[in-house]
Chain A
Amino acid sequence: DAGVTQSPTHLIKTRGQHVTLRCSPISGHKSVSWYQQVLGQGPQFIFQYYEKEERGRGNFPDRFSARQFPNYSSELNVNALLLGDSALYLCASSLAAGVEQPQHFGDGTRLSIL
């Protein structure tokens, strides 16, 4: 079975631009979460979506937004890119929202801001 798939794998943008990252969850999983991982650090939580509703938001500015579609895939949008947004963006899926649900990660999108 396919795992979590993310696209694109790599992306180079310049400051001030906008970016859209995409994620397809494991088949049957209805919850998608987004994380940012800076080099040498653990992933930091950005958003969780379940059944197309935002269930949680981390400590990120309003430049970050996301949505989930009826097929449970998801997009993460980042506006007005800053140099500090350079990171690996990870998507994780789980069967449902809830603390007991293990989250499974994709290989991420590596975003570089010039």
Chain B
Amino acid sequence: QKEVEQDPGPLSVPEGAIVSLNCTYSNSAFQYFMWYRQYSRKGPELLMYTYSSGNKEDGRFTAQVDKSSKYISLFIRDSQPSDSATYLCAQAGSYQLTFGKGTKLSVIP
């Protein structure tokens, strides 16, 4: 399975800002995508799970997939200091997840 590219940041925003996190993928054969949040010294926590193109919303989080440009995004509205973590995008393959390198986000009070 080919790669998933993710800007590692770090990204620092003020509390209340809208955060945009982005990844690109190269293999169009697989259309399941996930976003995980990983706090320091913890395992990845599944945040969002999407299939193919379109938007999916869950509270302050919106995941977006654009098949035409092979682009996946996670938007966080009204960001909070508790959102400070590393965010990992992943593409699901036949039996494995292929992850980006993760973007480290800091939300400053």
- B43 near A33 with CB under 8 A, answer no
Q: How many residues on chain B are close to A (CB under 8 Å)?
A: 28
Contact B93 A99 (CB under 8 A): yes
Instruction: Give the complex CA separation of A108 and B41 in angstroms.
Output: 9
A71→B43 CA distance, assembly (Å): 23
CB contacts (< 8 Å) of A44 on chain B: these are 99
With a cutoff of 8 Å between Cβ atoms, the chain B residues found around residue A104 in the complex are 46
Mark contacts of B87-103 with chain A using CB atoms, 8 A cut-off: 1 yes-contact digit, 0 otherwise. 01010111111111110
Contact A90 B96 (CB under 8 A): no
Interface size class of A (residues with CB under 8 A): 20 to 34
**Which residue of the partner chain, among B42, B51, B100, contacts A42 with CB atoms under 8 Å?**
B100
The one of B43, B51, B90, B102 in contact with A108, judged by C-beta atoms closer than 8 angstroms, is B43
Contact: A105 with B36, CB < 8 Å? yes
A103 near B: Cβ within 8 Å?
Answer: yes
Besides A42-B6, A48-B95, A99-B32, 6 other A-B contacts (C-beta < 8 A): A41-B102, A55-B95, A56-B95, A58-B96, A105-B36, A106-B43
Please give the residue numbers on chain A whose beta carbons come within 8 Å of chain B beta carbons, in ascending order: 4, 33, 35, 40-45, 48, 55-56, 58, 90, 92, 97-100, 102-108, 110
Residues of B within 8 A of A (CB): 4, 6, 8, 30, 32, 34, 36, 41-46, 49, 51, 88, 90, 92-102
